[in-house]
Amino acid sequence: MRTTVVIVGAGHSGLAMSRRLTERSIDHVVLERGEVANSWRRDRWDSLRLLTPNWQSGLPGFDYAGADPDGFMTSPEVADHLGAYARAIDAPVRSGVTVTSVAPAEASAGYRVVTDDGAYDADAVVLANGGSGIANLPPVADGVPSGILSLTAKTYRSPESLADGGVLVVGASASGAQLADEIARAGRDVTLAAGEHVRMPRTYRGRDIFWWMDAVGVLDERFDEIDDIIRARHVPSPQLVGSDDRRTVDIASLRANGVRVVGRVGRIHDGVAQFSGGLANTVRLADLKLDRLLDRFDAWAETGVDGLTEPVRAEPTVVDDAPLLELDLAREKVGTIVWATGYKPDYSWLDVPVLDYKGRLSHEGGVIPKSPGLYVMGTSLLRRRRSTYIGGAAQDSEELAEHLAGYLAGRTAPSAAAIL
């Protein structure tokens, strides 16, 4: 089969790119291994909600039009939102088609996309399969004793799905903080192993934290304005939960709710989990970064913004003077470990030499210079900080589609700087 562009993945980024290509009358197909918004339907825990308010979930030609713009969509609601978008733009999605290989075409400058339902020859390919295809398990997970249930944030569903006994949650970013909070509220004994994390209040001075980041321009900071972009793309997601009561979830609130907080997991050996002794420094660094962010918000507000309340900040995070360094899992009756240690994209089917030594895709704002005509969408901090969230696909898709159209017109890829 022949098409001009193949888009791999029918999530929000793949659908946004489909809309932009349709606007430019560029022939394309969207290949999806499951169904539209598949990961939102299959790979999320029951209570999950977006971190971002609904008003930030608009896509090209399809703003949020529900009754609760300041609320937070559940996973099924996100799936329905994206399904409605696919229908509204009449996206050429082929569901139930798994891509098994993308490789340079032998007879042309394009690509050969092989699937379990035939092959496509295309001039360009957009990788829009998202950044959370695989749970990122650290090597220490290999030491979990066989009698303990080991789950990831992709396989966890609810407290009822856990084994009897206590629960060790590893990771204190958005997923880890949310899961520790939910499991503790269900009456379970929870230990949270906290490494690097981003502390952030749900609201500040009467406005949602994402209102601030949007208004002040944090979300518009570009990838080429950040000193260490590789590290920035792997910074943990902020400790936030989308809830009706707009509560803040952080180390302090978790401790107040009975969660035992320890340092980063260093090793699990002979049934004993060993933790870093640097917890105090870890939380202090998170507090310092939060204060710098709130200082920036306050400085911006001095230019004159109506309706803000007085600045009130949370107290510095307090942890035990001598936090636990070892946990005998059997003695403490720990029945489950939940690994909330992040995700990584699955590029196992990509037969193009564009991955670095750690298996990460080398790109410049979504443009892959080493392989003209190959693009990526839907990963963290792709072009701006807002790229990490659903609403960021609107700008990303516009700029990358323009670059792609230029490539097709001249068959000599313009530089990434052409759309900076």
Backbone angles phi, psi at 31, to 5 degrees: -100, 130
pLDDT band at 171 (very low <50, low <70, confident <90, very high): very high
Q: What pLDDT is stored for residue 130 in this prediction?
A: 87
**Quick one: residue 162, left, alpha or beta (phi over 0 = left, psi -120 to 50 = alpha)?**
beta
Question: Within 13 Å of residue 280, how many CA atoms lie on the same side as its CB?
Answer: 8
Residue 350 is predicted with a pLDDT of: 96
Residue 414 has a pLDDT of: 58
Give the pLDDT score at 114: 98
pLDDT of residue 361: 93
pLDDT of residue 160 exceeding 90, the answer is yes
pLDDT reported for residue 410:
86
What is the spatial distance between Cα 390 and Cα 85, in angstroms, rounded to a whole number? 13
**Placement of tokens 């699955």 in the chain:** 346
Long-range CB contacts for residues 145-152, cutoff 8 Å, separation at least 24: 145/271, 145/329, 145/330, 147/330, 148/329, 148/334, 148/335, 148/336, 148/337, 149/335, 149/336, 149/337, 150/336, 150/337, 150/339, 151/336, 151/337, 151/338, 151/339, 152/338, 152/339, 152/340, 152/341
Residue 379 contacts residue 131 (beta carbons within 8 Å)? yes
- Tens-place pLDDT, residues 376-417: 999 999 999 999 999 999 999 999 999 999 999 986 555 555
pLDDT at 137 over 90: yes
- Which is more confident, 263 or 106? 263
109-133: average pLDDT:
94
Closest by CA position to 245, among listed 185, 203, 300, 290? 203
Return the pLDDT at 415.
57
Condensed to tens digits (0 to 9), the pLDDT of residues 214-225 reads: 999 999 999 999
**Residue 288: per-residue pLDDT:** 98
The pLDDT confidence band at residue 419, using thresholds 50, 70 and 90, is low
| Mean pLDDT within 196-210 | 98
pLDDT given at position 304? 87
Question: Please, are residues 128 and 14 in contact by the beta-carbon 8 Å criterion?
Answer: yes
| Tens digit of each residue's pLDDT (9 = 90 or more) over 298-331 | 999 998 899 999 999 999 999 999 989 999 999 9
pTM for the model stands at: 0.94
Residue 274 has pLDDT above 70, yes or no: yes
What integer best gives the mean pLDDT of the chain? 95
HEC per residue, 45-85: CCCCECCCCHHHCCECCECCCCCCCCCCCEHHHHHHHHHHH
Please report the pLDDT score of residue 359 as a whole number: 85
- List pLDDT tens digits, range 333-381: 999 999 999 998 999 999 999 998 888 899 999 999 999 999 999 999 9
Mean pLDDT of 222-233: 94
Contact, 143 vs 269, CB < 8 A?
Answer: yes
pLDDT attached to residue 12? 97
pLDDT digits 0-9 by tens, 55-87? 999 999 999 989 999 999 999 999 999 999 999
Q: Among 94-103, 125-134, 370-379, whose mean pLDDT is lowest?
A: 125-134
Query: Would you place residue 237 in the very low, low, confident or very high pLDDT band (cuts 50, 70, 90)?
Result: very high
All structural domains of the chain, each given as residue ranges with its CATH number in brackets, are 5-133+345-419 (3.50.50.60), 136-339 (3.50.50.60)
User: Mapping DSSP to helix (H, G, I), strand (E, B) and coil, where does residue 231 land?
Assistant: helix
What pLDDT, on the 0 to 100 scale, is given for residue 412? 53
Could you tell me if 390 and 59 are in contact, meaning their C-beta atoms sit under 8 angstroms apart?
yes
